[in-house]
Amino acid sequence: MVHSSHVAPHKLSGMGVPLFWPLAAAEQIAEQGLELVGRNLAFLAEEEKIHPELRPKLATANRITLDLRTMVFRDYSTPAATGAPTIVNAPYAGHSAMIAAYHKGQSLIETLLANGLERVFLTDWKSATGDMKHLEIDQYLAEINVCVDDLGGRVNLVRLCQGGWMSAMYAARFPHKVARLVLAGAPIDTDAGNGPVKRMAHRHPTSFFEELITLGSGRMLGQFMLQGWKGMHPEKHYIKQHIDLYEHFDDPAYSRKEETFRSWYENPIDDLPGRWYLQAIVDLFKENRLAKGRFIGLGLRLNVKDIVCPVYLLAGESDDIPTKEQVFNAEKYLGTPAHNIEKKLVPGGHIGLLTGSRILKVTWPDIARWIRPVRSSTRTRRSRSRSASARMRTAIR
């Protein structure tokens, strides 16, 4: 059977995203050794065969517009939709994009569509296959750029969790292509605050993560990331603290919601490219290169100061995956004028920012309304452009 870790629960508060599970399990793994980890992985592979029915499914209808190497690009647009496109960039941290379209009546995508954003798209990241083990953050930025160009070259970006720093990178690399930027639970200044992720990232040597990647033949295995947390009773520390999904135990739909949660939580995205993973851990969480203007993205040194579009920063009060300081400290580095930066601190933890029913009913509609003005201005520009073209054709005649 899988050997449970004995790391004390208080050390694991908030460690609900698979990207950081190896950090949480590091001390115990050091004692147990990688051979035991290998045995546990073999067990989990067998266990997965027993529960094939639990697979995450997106709750909101969509169509695939692009099938790229790193992602499937999904279109949720309403019929005859107009206005500026909004891309929801799902976390690429071990779990699937289902978190953005979680459950009928509890879906961020559904909320955005219901509040006036007609053209909504989602990055649905793929598990890394063996031939993807050497992919870097650059490849992911490049494919985001393909999606943006396919939509006309200027979009709103809504970035969730670990998608946040990739969005900030993209907006710094292509500032003219981002109309408005929402960073929800996104760690930009990873040196800020004193959360467990910061402490663990600095405590454990890079060689530890390199060994795990070697164990995965060049990838960070999703099975290992799940194994690092699964034996620690996540339902006691994760569900109750971060999601108000289980608030009403007499709800007849409770069992369906529980199954939805388990299908998402217990089925990581599978595997991450080893090189991408090391960049995330070392360049961002150990060395904070993005905030310091030292990260090289698509051939250029990226400076968050180059982001000048309106920005909305959303943080959870009890979130320690990024702490609120890691989110709100972005304000110190952005080139966006202070009057164009919105900040919102809401009750709850990390996953509640994206799936909490109260936040979806109150906070995200406000964010959708904050994004919407871009649609009107885009429509006006197009209208003016058509009028100018008509005048030009008249003059030629």
pLDDT of 127 > 70? The answer is yes
Mean pLDDT calculated for residue range 347-359: 76
Give the integer Cα–Cα distance in Å for 164 and 142: 16
User: pLDDT-based confidence at 233, cuts 50/70/90?
Assistant: very low
Residue 313, domain member (yes or no): yes
pLDDT of 101 > 60? The answer is no
User: pLDDT-based confidence at 152, cuts 50/70/90?
Assistant: very high
Q: Above pLDDT 90, what percent of the chain?
A: 41
Query: Residue 180: exposed, middle, or buried by beta-carbon count in 10 A (0-12, 13-18, 19+)?
Result: buried
- Per-residue b/e over 313-325, b at no fewer than 16 CB within 10 Å? bbbbebbbbbbbb
Q: How many Cβ atoms are within 10 Å of 370's Cβ, its own excluded?
A: 16
Give me the pLDDT at residue 102, please: 59
Mean pLDDT calculated for residue range 176-202: 89
Residue 392, domain member (yes or no): no
CATH number at residue 354: 3.40.50.1820
The more confidently predicted of residues 186 and 67 is 67
Give me the pLDDT at residue 373, please: 73
Residue 130, domain member (yes or no): yes
Q: Indicate the number of domains in the chain.
A: 1
State the DSSP H helix or E strand holding residue 121, giving kind and residue range, or none if neither. strand 120-125
Residue 393, domain member (yes or no): no
Is 190 within 8 Å of 291 (Cβ atoms)?
yes
pLDDT of 2 > 70? The answer is no
Give the integer Cα–Cα distance in Å for 49 and 234: 21
User: pLDDT-based confidence at 246, cuts 50/70/90?
Assistant: very low
Which of 122-131, 248-257, 377-386 holds the top average pLDDT?
122-131
Residue 394, domain member (yes or no): no
**82: domain range?**
1-387
Rama region for 238: left / alpha / beta (φ>0; ψ in -120 to 50; rest)? alpha
Residue 395, domain member (yes or no): no
Residue 30, domain member (yes or no): yes
Mean pLDDT calculated for residue range 256-264: 51
The more confidently predicted of residues 211 and 53 is 211
Is 77 within 8 Å of 119 (Cβ atoms)?
yes
Give the integer Cα–Cα distance in Å for 155 and 178: 5
Residue 153, domain member (yes or no): yes
pLDDT of 61 > 70? The answer is yes
Q: What pTM was estimated for this model as a whole?
A: 0.75
CA-based R_g, the chain, Å: 21
pLDDT of 231 > 50? The answer is no
Q: Edge-to-edge strand order for the sheet containing 63-67?
A: 63-67, 71-75, 120-125, 86-89, 155-160, 178-184, 311-316, 341-346
| Lowest-confidence region among 204-218, 252-266, 298-312 | 252-266
DSSP E strand boundaries for 167-320: 178-184, 219-220, 272-273, 295-297, 300-302, 311-316
